[in-house]
Amino acid sequence: MGEVGLKKHPLDDYLRVERVPHIWCPGCGLGLMVNCFLRALVKSRLDLDKVVVVSGIGCTGRGAGYINLDSFHTTHGRAIPFATGLKVANPELTVVVISGDGDLVAIGGNHLIHAARRSIDLTVLCVNNFIYGMTGGQLGPTTPLTARTTTSLRGNSDEPLNVPYLAAASGAAYVARWTTAHVRRLEKAVTEALLKKGFSLVEIISPCPTYYGRMNKQGTGLEQMKYYRDNSVIKSGLDPKQVAIEFNGQIIVGKFIDLG
C-alpha cells in the first residue's frame, strides 16, 4: 500500500476507523451513502456531540456502527420508534435514522407512517436497494414488479411501495429521492433534511451488485451506477404519487416535498 495507505481521509474523524474494513460488498452503494451523510453533517455545522444515528437491521443497519457519533443499532424495523423515544426524551438531539427499505418500509412500515403523521423531528435516510441483501437477496417491499430475487425466481408478482409517496401521504415535511450516483445533490438533500424541523425522509437508491444486480442482469456496481446516471430524471416538485419505480425503467429523482 505504501504512503497511499497511510494518508488520512478527510472524513476519518467522523468514522470509527478502527472498524474498517466494513462488511459491505465491493460495488455496494452504502459507502457512498455514508460519505454523503458525513459531508452533509460537516456542512450542517451541527454539534457532533448532539447528533445521534439510529439504525435497524440489515446491510444499511450496519451504518450506525461505522459512524463516530452516538449510534444505536437496534432491532429489525424499530429504529424509528427507538429514535422517537430518544428525541422526545432529549429534544436537544438531532436524531438521524439510517436504515434500509426492508427495515423501514416492510417490518417497520407502520412506525414510518406514524412518525411522519406525528411530525416528530427526525431525519430518515432510507437506502433502497430493492432487495434484502443481508439475508441473501429476497423479495422486499420495494422490489419492482417482475424483478427476480431468491424468493421470486419467476419474477416478483407483488406491487412495490412508492416510498416518497408513502412518506408524503403520511405527513412528512421533507421528502427527496436521489441515487448514489448523485453525490452532490444527495449531500445537499441530506443537509437540508438534517436542518429541517419535522419529519424528513431521503430515499437513496443504491446498487446491490451481489444480489439485485446479479439476479437481474444489471452488472457490477459501477454498471448500476452508470444506469442511474443514464436513466435518472430530475423532476423536483413533482407529485410523489408519480414517482413509482418500474423494473428497468427510469428513476425519477428530486426534492418532492419541502414544507415551509
Partner 1 sequence: MSERKYLAGEFFLSGDDACAEGAISAGCCFFAGYPITPATEIAERMAERLPEVGGNYIQMEDELGSMAAVLGASWGGVKAMTATSGPGFSLMMENIGLGIITETPCVVVNIQRAGPSTGLPTLTGQGDMMQARWGSHGVYSIIALSPSSPQELYDLTIKAFNLSEKYRLPVLVMSEAATGHMYEKVVIPLPGEIELVPRRKPTVPTSDYLPFKPDPDLVPPMANAGEGYHLHVSGLTHDERGYPAMTAEAQDRLVRRLVDKIEQNKAEIIELEEDGIRGAEVVVCTYGISARVSQIAVERARGEGIRVGMLRLVTVWPFPDDRIRDIAREVKAFVVPEINYGQIALEVERCACGRAEVVLVPHMGGGVHAPETILAAIRRAVR
31-50: contacts with partner 1 (CB under 8 A): 48-50
State in angstroms the smallest separation of the CB of 30 from partner 1: 16
Q: Does 65 bind partner 1 (CB under 8 A)?
A: yes
155: left (phi over 0), alpha (psi -120 to 50) or beta: left
164-201: b (≥16 Cβ within 10 Å) or e: bbbbbebbbbbbbbbbbbbeebbbbbbbbbbbbebbbb
Instruction: Indicate the DSSP class of residue 67.
Output: B
Give the residue with the Cβ less far from partner 1, 33 or 113.
113
Radius of gyration in angstroms for the set of CA atoms belonging to the chain, rounded to a whole number: 17
Give the residue with the Cβ less far from partner 1, 108 or 209.
108
Give the residue with the Cβ less far from partner 1, 109 or 164.
109
Give the residue with the Cβ less far from partner 1, 4 or 89.
89
The strand pair at 200-205 and 122-128 is best described as parallel
Site string for partner 1, 105-144 (x = CB under 8 A): -----xx-xx------------------------------
> How many H helices and E strands in the chain?
10, 8
Give the residue with the Cβ less far from partner 1, 52 or 252.
52
Which of 11, 42, 86, 244 contacts partner 1 by CB under 8 A?
Answer: 86
SS3 content of the chain, % helix, strand, coil (to 5): 40, 20, 40
- The answer to whether the CB of 182 falls within 8 A of the CB of 253 is yes
172-231: contacts with partner 1 (CB under 8 A): none
1-20: contacts with partner 1 (CB under 8 A): 16, 19
Which of 6, 92, 230, 237 contacts partner 1 by CB under 8 A?
Answer: 92
- What whole-number distance in Å separates Cα of residue 157 and Cα of residue 56? 27
- What whole-number distance in Å separates Cα of residue 79 and Cα of residue 42? 23
Contact region with partner 1 (CB under 8 A), list: 86-94, 144-152, 216-224, 244-252: 86-94
Contact region with partner 1 (CB under 8 A), list: 51-59, 124-132, 226-234, 245-253: 51-59
Query: What are the CA-CA distances from residue 208 to residues 133, 169, 217 (Å)?
Result: 7, 28, 12
Give contact residues for partner 1 (rule: CB under 8 A). 16, 19, 48-50, 52, 54, 57, 64-65, 68-75, 77-78, 80-90, 92-93, 110-111, 113-114
